[in-house]
Amino acid sequence: MEIYVSAEADYITKYAASELQKYVDLFAEKPIDITVVIGKPDDTPDIADDQVFVIHPDGGKIYLYGGSPLAALWAVYELVSQWGILYTLHGDVIPPEAEIKIPQYKKEYKPRQRLRAWRIFNEHFTGPTSWSLKQQKYFITQLVKQKYNAIYFVCWPFHPFIDFEFNGVSRSRTKFGYTDPVILDENNIARELLPPHSVFTNPEFYGCETFADWHKRGVNYAAEVFSFAKQLGMTVVMSCLPYHIPIEFKDFLQKPVPSPGIENYACDESGDLFNDNHVALLKAQFDAFLNTYPMVDIFEINLPEHVRTNLGQFDECWAALDKRFGLSDEFDIEEIIRETGAKSLTEPERAIREVKMNLMSVESLHRLLDKTGFLRDLRSKGKRLALQAGLNCPSVIPIIAKAMWEDAIITVCADYTTIRTCRALRLMENVSTAHAKINYILTLQDDNIGNLPQMCFNAIDRLIQFAADIGWNGYLTRYWPIGDLDPISYFLSKCSWDAEITSDEALADFLSKLYGSEFIKPFRYVYRLLEEASVLLDTYLGGIFPVSNLVTSCMFLQNGGSAREHFRHAVSIYREAFSIISKTNAKADYLASRLEFSINALDGMIILWDACGLNDNTAQAAQYRLMIEKFTAAVTAMSKQIRDDSDIGNLAVYYHVFIRKPSERLELYGSGGK
């Protein structure tokens, strides 16, 4: 096979040629006499859509081209996938039956969703917060092969990625990890697999001592990831949570209150939301992001999940928004608030607070943008501004869509999981796309459920179809460890381009290439069981949340509530799935270890709640020891199959959460403490 590319071609087009050559070399023993041209025939008009690509056989040549260099690269990867090669998040799989095949007909490919973004940084060491730069770059190359086109970087207020000064004060505190420090010592299971340090953190940040050290590494880390993605033609989206003000600036707020869950690192304004200092602190953060990361394409403002602001200003804010956009002509805000409280899938009062906070934040942003000119500065540099809203109050999204600035982007986050989101789509059927571009969060795993296998094929199918039908622009994924996500990423990639493919068809294709066609049927049962467990855990919205007080906070509670029964059913499902895998000869050691971890982890939680109902201290202590034995078995099972940096983070975190902290508490309890 001869591969032709113009000498004047750009970097991505030449990269496409080198990638094609790499795959052709795998079939060196079966040479094919054909020429592949990466570029369009001379008499073919240009493609106006930068995401459309074409595979065009013509006589003894195959032309691969698109509306952009990245689209041409997708054409290469699509051609190679037709040879039987499977792209996964962890690498390529080349089945024995793979062979070079020559397409017979010209075909044009167009995506159903314009933005197909994967989150490559967030919070919790169980996910990308643990990733080295090497894993980040490798992951991005695998995303491109599956025709995703954007990365999504979420920055928390305690992260070291930005610094700014206000009235002579700069930042001085930073960390990774939503919980307290994750200790590493000689007692850790599989200590040899963990970093040779006393505290776990992102591998690129060991040796940092001062905030200046952390910040320099942080900027280098983010900038290198962004530049690598941009080099391959991907869009970069960066999100921040500016309403959680770094704690160093607490004294400049009127009525500061601790930010929920991150009290030692951030605070919220509970006084006048529009006071000069609060506005100036918001602007200082926006400027810091824009000036530090000029390669970012879309900056997103993520509204607080837990509201501690001055809701007494809601009426003022609603009146101002109504005056700007005439909202009361279409929306009865009092009825929407009542309906949100009555029908929310979470705590009613919390959902009502979020409705008010979302709308107050929109008004505050309008005032901020009017006063500071930040939006004008952003546009002058070719950037876009997005707003994420709606977590526990999807009913507010239609209002926000009518109350945005020109060329705005809204990121809809309608609930904690994709399954739960699909229970609220009726509330968003009339979201207008006339005033804003609509993207949505597509959750593949929820951190509340923790490191339990989560599958959502049917919910993904439903949400993609819904979004395509009403003209939403695209999605941004939400997840933590990636070890389980290869079949999900494969299906998501397929259905993002092909409206006809079903999850069963995609899963069968995936399984046949990974294990062999004889394993399609048993593993289809396994994944259906895992989806059933995901629905069960999603309904309770609980599991093994990876924070230090997961076990110790409820260790002496008298009642585990309905969680115990949910967990009993989930354990039964995982045992059934494990039984099916054990009866096959497939090389599914990783999935088997994940199920073994899950069974022991949930068994341990059930023992905990059973122990909480005991009045005898000796009997209770014996149950706690049995619980720790189960947790030890869970972490040991995990340690046997480590695929990536997320797995290493999980190994460190769950030893800390499941074994070290409960053992410390048990020792204290045995000595008469509480």
The beta-carbon contacts of 187-196 under 8 Å, at least 24 apart in sequence, are 187/660, 188/651, 188/652, 188/655, 189/632, 189/635, 189/636, 189/639, 189/651, 189/655, 189/659, 190/636, 190/639, 190/642, 190/651, 193/639, 193/642, 193/648, 193/651, 194/648, 194/651, 194/652, 195/648
What span, in angstroms and rounded, lies between the C-alpha atoms of 85 and 94? 5
Mean pLDDT of 473-496: 97
Q: What is the DSSP letter of 547?
A: S
**Res. 50 pLDDT band, cuts 50 70 90:** very high
* Strand intervals (E) in 47-171: 53-58, 61-66, 86-88, 91-93, 107-109, 115-121, 150-155, 165-166, 169-170
Q: Residue 673: pLDDT band by 50, 70, 90 thresholds?
A: very low
Instruction: Compute the distance between CA of residue 401 and CA of residue 410 in angstroms, rounded to an integer.
Output: 7
Number of DSSP helices (H) and strands (E) in the chain, helices first: 21, 20
454 part of a folded domain: no
Percentage with pLDDT > 70 across the chain: 97
Q: What is the pLDDT of residue 399?
A: 93
pLDDT of residue 563: 78
Element (H, E) at 338: helix 333-343
Residues 596 and 586: their CA atoms lie apart, in Å, by 16
Six-digit token pair at 646?
Answer: 């997320």
On the 0-12 / 13-18 / 19+ scale of CB atoms within 10 A, 305 is middle
Q: What is the pLDDT of residues 562-590, one digit of tens each?
A: 778 889 999 999 999 999 999 999 999 99
What pLDDT band is residue 670 in, cutting at 50, 70 and 90?
low
CB neighbour class for 216 (10 Å; exposed up to 12, middle 13-18, buried from 19)? middle
Q: What's residue 661's pLDDT?
A: 93
Backbone angles phi, psi at 210, to 5 degrees: -95, 165
Distance CA 604, CA 628 (A): 7
Report pLDDT for 73: 98
pLDDT of residue 672: 44
pLDDT at 94: 96
The C-alpha atoms of residue 444 and residue 539 are separated, in whole angstroms, by: 15
Residue located via tokens 């003209």: 471
> What DSSP string runs through 210-276?
SHHHHHHHHHHHHHHHHHHHHHTT-EEEEEE-TTSEEGGGGGGSSSEEEPTT-TTTEEEE-S-TT-H
Confidence of residue 625 (pLDDT cuts 50, 70, 90): very high
Do residues 416 and 345 lie in contact, with contact meaning Cβ atoms separated by under 8 Å?
no
| Euclidean distance between CA atoms 643 and 442, whole angstroms | 24
Return the structure tokens found at 662. 């409960």
Residue type, position 197, single letter = H
Domain boundary among 70, 85, 109: 109
* Statement to judge: residues 524 and 381 lie in one domain: no
Go through 531-562 and write b for each residue having 16 or more CB atoms within 10 A of its CB, e for each that does not.
Answer: bbbbbbbbebbbbbbbbbebbbebbeeeebee
Q: What is the C-alpha R_g of the chain? A: 26
Give the integer Cα–Cα distance in Å for 470 and 462. Answer: 13
User: What pLDDT sits at residue 305?
Assistant: 78
Q: What is the mean pLDDT of residues 464-468?
A: 96
pLDDT of residue 617: 80
Please work out, in degrees rounded to the nearest 5, the angle formed at the alpha carbon of residue 248 by the alpha carbons of 244 and 249: 65
DSSP letter assigned to residue 431: -
- The answer on 252 and 387 residing in a single domain is yes
DSSP, collapsed to helix, strand or coil, labels residue 143 as helix
Q: Which helix (DSSP H) or strand (DSSP E) does residue 300 occupy?
A: strand 298-302
Of residues 615 and 188, more confidence is placed in 188
CB 33 within 8 A of CB 11: no
**248-275 per-position pLDDT tens digit:** 999 999 999 999 889 999 999 999 999 9
Is residue 486 one of the residues assigned to a domain?
no
The CATH code of the domain that includes 96 is 3.30.379.10
For residue 312 the two structure tokens come to 């007494």
Determine the 3-state secondary structure of 90 from DSSP.
coil
Q: Does residue 59 carry a pLDDT above 50?
A: yes
Average pLDDT over residues 438-458: 96
Average predicted confidence (pLDDT) for the chain:
93
Q: Is residue 434 part of a domain?
A: no
pLDDT exceeds cutoff 80 at 630? yes
Domain membership flag for residue 506: no
CA distance 76 to 83: 11
pLDDT in tens, 386-408: 999 887 778 889 999 999 998 99
Asked if residue 468 belongs to a domain, the reply is no
Residue 346 has pLDDT above 90, yes or no: no
pLDDT over threshold 70, residue 221: yes
How confident is residue 307, by pLDDT bands cut at 50, 70 and 90?
A: low
Shared domain check, 395 and 528: no
Q: 451 - beta bridge partners?
A: none
Angle, vertex CA 337, rays to CA 336 and CA 338, nearest 5: 90
Average pLDDT over residues 120-128: 97
Backbone angles phi, psi at 158, to 5 degrees: -95, 0
pLDDT at residue 560, as a whole number? 53
Q: What is the pLDDT of residue 554?
A: 58
Which pLDDT does position 674 carry in this prediction?
A: 45
* Tally of domains in the chain: 3
Q: Is the pLDDT of residue 555 over 60?
A: no
Q: Note whether 535 and 663 are same-domain residues.
A: yes
More confident residue, 619 or 230: 230
Of 389, 413, 437, the residue at which a domain comes to its end is 413
Residues 253 and 397 in one domain: yes
User: Of 413, 432, 447, which residue sits at a domain end?
Assistant: 413
Q: What was the pLDDT predicted at 561?
A: 61
Least confident of 105-119, 150-164, 195-209, 411-425: 411-425
| Integer CA distances (angstroms), 23 to 90, 295, 476, 489, in order | 17, 31, 30, 21
Does residue 403 sit in the same domain as residue 540? no
Residue 198 has pLDDT above 70, yes or no: yes
CA distance 553 to 261: 14
* Mean local confidence (pLDDT), 539-557: 78
Per-residue pLDDT tens over the stretch 66-120: 999 999 999 999 999 999 999 999 999 999 999 999 999 999 999 999 999 999 9
Domain that holds residue 554: 517-670
C-alpha 551/C-alpha 580 separation (Å) is 31
**573 is a domain residue:** yes
In a domain, 470, yes or no: no
How many angstroms separate the CA atoms of 344 and 168, rounded?
A: 44
Is it the case that residue 553 has pLDDT exceeding 90?
no
Does one domain contain both 524 and 663?
A: yes
Amino acid symbol at 118: W
252 with 376, same domain: the answer is: yes
> Residue 169 burial (CB < 10 Å; 0-12/13-18/19+)?
middle
Q: Tokens 């010592």 belong to which residue?
A: 185
Query: What is the average per-residue pLDDT within 657-673?
Result: 77
**374 within domain boundaries:** yes
